Chain A
Amino acid sequence: MSKEYNIDKIAERINRIEDVLASVAAGDLDARINAEAEDDLSGIEAAIDLLIDDLTDELKQREKMQKEVEDKLSKIQEQQKTILQQQADLLELSSPVSKVWDNVLILPVIGTLDSQRTQVMMENLLEKIVETGCTISILDITGVPTVDTQVANHLLKTVTSARLLGAECIISGISPAIAQTIVHLGIDLSTIKTKATLQDAMIFAMKQNKRSENVKLQSLFTSSDEKEE
């Protein structure tokens, strides 16, 4: 069977194909040929439309993925910023020195004592000793999981510095496991006053306080006695 082909009509359809392809190439993914006739050419036209459909899907998928990656990246960057900020905050937070009792300072240490933190901690404690004139400070290390030679060294230095400022430093919260480990390491902490728990340390501090008050009172009495005589 032979078909009648209208040359003009065909030229027009080929032009349309060219237009659509050009539009797609230029980025218009909505362009389609939408063939109406049913003949040899319409197969090609439909195939081209399908191809554009696939291409559109593919591109959309890729755009979506790229957007997701970008979103994730910016989220991670944001998280990183938060973490850095928190680290800075923690450095401050992790060395809160507070005066809990007349003459007694407490510094609870939690987490890992790296050199940077220890430095901040030591400075805070010494400053507070000078500022308050407290003569007893308790360093509670219940929250420190590992005491190695470096940490022990830092603790010893802190205690010695506090002593130079006229404050006795008690270390509390050394667990049995850590106590044993310190002994095996060979570190001598016998020059430091240590207490098993924070409670023990506080009781000790209060007794010490009372004693020094008694001494003060006594000297007050003796001096007034002397005056009367």
Chain B
Amino acid sequence: MLGLTSDINWETLSKHLIDSENNIVEVRQLVRYHAKQLSMGIIDQTRITTAVSELLRNMYNYGGGGEVLIEKGIVDDKISLIITCTDHGSGIEDLELAMSDGYTSGNGMGYGLPGAKRLVDRFEIKSELNMGTIVRVMKWK
């Protein structure tokens, strides 16, 4: 998608469909596994796993489910784990608002998106009303 960092040399580790809470748990476990494979420490493993958990939950709650792509590659000379969450839901009307601490349109805490951003090394989001949302997060090794 236009505007997101990407590289044809990235290696796809796995792809998943998210359409239930069980999927969320499975994919989360896989992200932790891949982080471990990249020999990330327990803190970084927990950070990337939690960040992805937020994205998956949003995708499930607001985007009607979607797809997750887990990749490994070099970003800015650093080996990274790259996770991309794509949904074709309602999209986010006001990105700035959605990214601010404490904003929720439902009955969450409103810390998912801004929190996920703080937990990763790079956070990219694109959203189009009635088209969907795509979020790409990266964690350096």
Contact = CB atoms under 8 A, between A and B. Distances in A.
Interface of B: 21, 24-25, 28, 32, 42-43, 45-47, 49-50, 53-54, 57, 101, 108-109, 111-112, 114-116, 118-119
Contact of B118 (A147, A152, A176, A186): A186
Given A149-B111, A152-B109, 16 more contacts: A112-B25, A114-B21, A146-B28, A148-B53, A150-B108, A177-B45, A181-B43, A181-B46, A181-B47, A181-B119, A184-B118, A184-B119, A185-B111, A185-B118, A186-B118, A187-B115
Contacts of B25: 112, 114
Q: Which of B32, B45, B54, B115 has the most CB of A within 10 A?
A: B115
Contacts of A115: 21
A153 interface: yes
Contacts of A186: 101, 111, 114-115, 118
Nearest to B29: A145
29 contacts: A114-B21, A115-B21, A116-B21, A145-B32, A145-B49, A146-B49, A148-B50, A148-B53, A149-B54, A149-B57, A149-B108, A149-B109, A149-B111, A150-B57, A153-B108, A176-B43, A177-B42, A177-B45, A180-B46, A181-B47, A181-B119, A184-B115, A185-B54, A185-B111, A185-B115, A185-B116, A185-B118, A186-B101, A186-B114
Nearest to A114: B21
Contacts of A196: none
A15 to B, nearest CB: 64
Contacts of A147: 50
Contacts of B116: 185
B117 to A, nearest CB: 9
A214 B111 CA distance: 42
A178 interface: yes
Contacts of A176: 43
Interface in A143-190: 145-150, 152-153, 176-178, 180-181, 184-187
A176 B44 CA distance: 12
A185 B50 contact: yes
Contacts of A184: 47, 115, 118-119
